[in-house]
Amino acid sequence: MTRASRARRLATAAAYGGGGLGLVGAGLATLLRQEARLARRRVESRTAKADPPTGEGRYGHHRGKQIVLAVLGDSSAVGLGVDRAERTPGVLVASALAEVAERPVRLVKVAVSGARSADLAGQVERVLPHRPDVAMIMIGANDVTSRSKPALAVRDLAAAVRSLRETGCEVVVGTCPDLGTIRPVQQPLRTLGRRWSRQLAAAQTMAVVAEGGRTVSLGSLLGPQFASDRTMFSSDEFHPSAAGYAAAAACLLPSVADALGVWPASADRGARGLRRDTVRPIARAAASAAGRPGTEVQPASVDGSDAGPRGPWALLRRRRPQELPEATPATETSGATDR
């Protein structure tokens, strides 16, 4: 079975109520459970006990209409593992977006450490009163580590994206990270973790694009880099360090800005611009993105048609990560609907 067909199977299961990543033998299942318990104990014993400051507030000193950036998801969206707000991905993207757009950006963060895709509905409900212009979602790792049914996880993510898009909010999803890079996890669980996380990332892409959102592959971008560079992890060797979150933010920023129409075309030209820009059937695009560094996938059309013989069209954009400006402290804002 190809990566594209696996992604299509998971996404189809999400639509019709099936779902599963396959069965393993009883002996292997017992071994995997033991390895998972040992890895979880090691990670939990070294994980920061408190989330970093939220960093919510207004960024940038520009005039003009305020952009509201909402951050949803799990501990990776929270920034667990760093101790300062300006090192979290939401603040990094908000500060850089203000400079790119030359407009003030208000950051609203409803992400919760430990969240799974099933928790996104509650996060969406909390963020909608703020009327976000763009939402950045980072989700998936806890769905894999808790062995949630992937079809249900994909369905929950799709529902969240749909609810946000119905309000006119742009959505950018950082897909499931590559759990095969986690050092406390031993073989064969590490290999299975990589396979499961990539399959989930591909299925997430198909579901998000179908709802009119965009995805950015964080797993394939950070995986090789994290595997070879321990400085990309925090002390628990599970969550990213400040350098790791900066790498993720640099990957997400172009897609967030482009979704709002404020990403300069000049940034995608030359050696530091787009690596590749191609249109493919969505299943092939999703499978390719899951294994290629920093790939963005968004809806596309060919000759005026949104779909071809093999399903909907999708545009793959492989941008090079951008150097982010130093994050600035937030300014207090007033009112949930202050625009």
| Exposure on the CB side of residue 134, measured as CA atoms within 13 A | 26
Query: Residue 299 and residue 209: Cα distance in Å, rounded?
Result: 6
Please name which of 117, 113, 118, 53 lies closest in space to residue 86, comparing C-alpha atoms: 53
The reported pLDDT for the residue numbered 276 is 60
The encoded tokens of residue 322 equal 């951008």
Please name which of 184, 196, 189, 249 lies closest in space to residue 42, comparing C-alpha atoms: 184
Query: Residue 155 and residue 14: Cα distance in Å, rounded?
Result: 5
Catalytic residues: 75, 236, 239
> Is-contact 77 89, C-beta < 8 A?
yes
> Is-contact 197 180, C-beta < 8 A?
yes
Tens of pLDDT, residue by residue, the chain (339 residues) = 555 555 555 454 444 344 443 434 444 344 444 444 544 555 444 445 577 889 999 999 898 999 999 999 998 899 988 888 998 999 999 999 999 999 999 999 999 998 999 999 999 999 999 999 999 999 998 888 777 888 999 999 999 999 999 999 999 999 988 776 655 555 555 666 677 788 899 999 999 999 999 999 987 444 444 444 444 444 444 456 777 888 889 989 999 999 999 998 877 765 444 556 789 988 888 888 887 767 899 999 898 889 888 888 999 988 766 677 666 777 765 444 444
The reported pLDDT for the residue numbered 45 is 44
> Is-contact 44 12, C-beta < 8 A?
no
Query: Residue 180 and residue 209: Cα distance in Å, rounded?
Result: 25
pTM tops 0.85: no
> Is-contact 121 157, C-beta < 8 A?
no
> Is-contact 209 171, C-beta < 8 A?
no
Name the CATH topology of 3-20+31-319.
Rossmann fold (3.40.50)
**What's CA 189's distance to the chain center, in Å?**
23
Please name which of 285, 213, 245, 264 lies closest in space to residue 100, comparing C-alpha atoms: 264
The encoded tokens of residue 106 equal 């208000």
Backbone angles phi and psi of 301, in degrees to 5: -140, 155
